[in-house]
Amino acid sequence: MSSGGIVVAIDGPAASGKGTLARNLASHFGFHHLDTGLTYRAVAKALLDGGLPLDDEALAEQTACSIDLSNLDRSVLATHHVGEAASKVAVMPAVRRALVEAQRNFAQRRPGAILDGRDIGTVVCPDADVKFFVTANAAVRARRRYEEIVGSGTAVDLGEIEEDLARRDARDSLRADSPLIPATDAHLLDTSEMDIETAFLEAKRRIETAMAEKDGN
Ligand code: DC
C-alpha cells in the first residue's frame, strides 16, 4: 500500500482499451490521470521536431528530463508516426529512468492517481493499491485502431495496422528494460469480448474495495 492517495496502475498493449478505461475511472472517482505513453511520445516528438536521432541515449535522456507533465498535448502526440518513434525511444534505460521519476511523483497526487502504460504495476508503482492488466486479442485491437483512424477521416489499410501493432507489441514486450508483462497481482481484464462498460464496472468495484480497505487501515 502507498502512503499517499489511492494509486491505480493500468497496463496493457496498444489499442487494448486501457486509455479509455483509465480516463473514465479518473473522471468517476475524481482522481488525477496520467497516460504515461504520452511522456514517451513527447520525448520522441521533441527529437523528431529537432531533426535529432532517436537512438542517441544521452540526448534522449536530456530531452526526457525537460518534459513537462502538465503540458502533454494529446492532439499533437497521438499520431501513428510519433507512436512508432516513442516505442524506439522507450527501449533506452536512461530515458525510462528520467520519465519514471516524473511518473512516480505524479502518482503521489491526492486524492488518487490513475496511471496507464506498460510498466506501471511492475516498475513505476509496484505498490499500487489496485492493478489492472487490460488486454484484447490482436484482431480486435487492430480493428479498433482501424475504426479510430477511419473515424478521424484518414484512409488506412487494416493489414498495415495489424502489422504495425504486431511490430509494436514485439518491441514493447521483448525489450530488456521494463517489458510489457502483467504484474503478478494485476487483475486481468480481457476486452476482446467484454464491452467497455462491463470492464469499467469491474474495475470500479475493485477500486471501491481497495478504498474501503485503505480507509479501514
Ligand atoms: O500507449 P502509447 O501507444 O501511447 O505508447 C507509446 C509507446 O511508449 C509504446 O510503444 C511503448 C512506450 N511506453 C512504455 O514503454 N512504457 C509506458 N509506461 C508507456 C508507453
Is the per-residue pLDDT at 149 higher than 90? no
76 Cβ contact partners less than 8 Å away, ≥ 6 residues apart: 45, 82
> Is it the case that residue 217 has pLDDT exceeding 80?
no
Q: Is the CB of 119 under 6 A from ligand 1?
A: yes
Q: Using alpha carbons only, how large is the chain's radius of gyration in Å?
A: 17
Mean pLDDT along residues 157-179: 90
The C-alpha angle with vertex 34 and arms to 160 and 173, in degrees rounded to 5, equals: 45
Nearest to 96 by CA among 18, 5, 179, 30: 179
93 and 159 inside one domain? no
- The arithmetic mean of pLDDT across residues 107-132, rounded, is 97
- Given 92, 110, 128, the domain boundary residue is 110
Q: Is 86 in the pocket of ligand 1 (CB under 6 A)?
A: yes
> Do 59 and 52 meet the contact criterion of CB atoms below 8 Å apart?
yes
**What's the pLDDT at 154?**
85
Of 61, 76, 110, which marks where a domain is finished?
110
Min mean pLDDT across 5-9, 76-80, 106-110 is at 76-80
pLDDT (mean) for 134-139: 94
pLDDT band, very low/low/confident/very high, at 3 (cuts 50, 70, 90): low
Name the grid cell of 18: 486501457
Residue 107 pLDDT exceeds 60: yes
Is the CB–ligand 1 distance for residue 172 below 6 Å?
A: yes
Please indicate, yes or no, whether residues 25 and 49 belong to a single structural domain of this protein: no
Cα separation of 8 and 132, whole Å? 8
**The last residue of a domain, from among 90, 110, 130:** 110
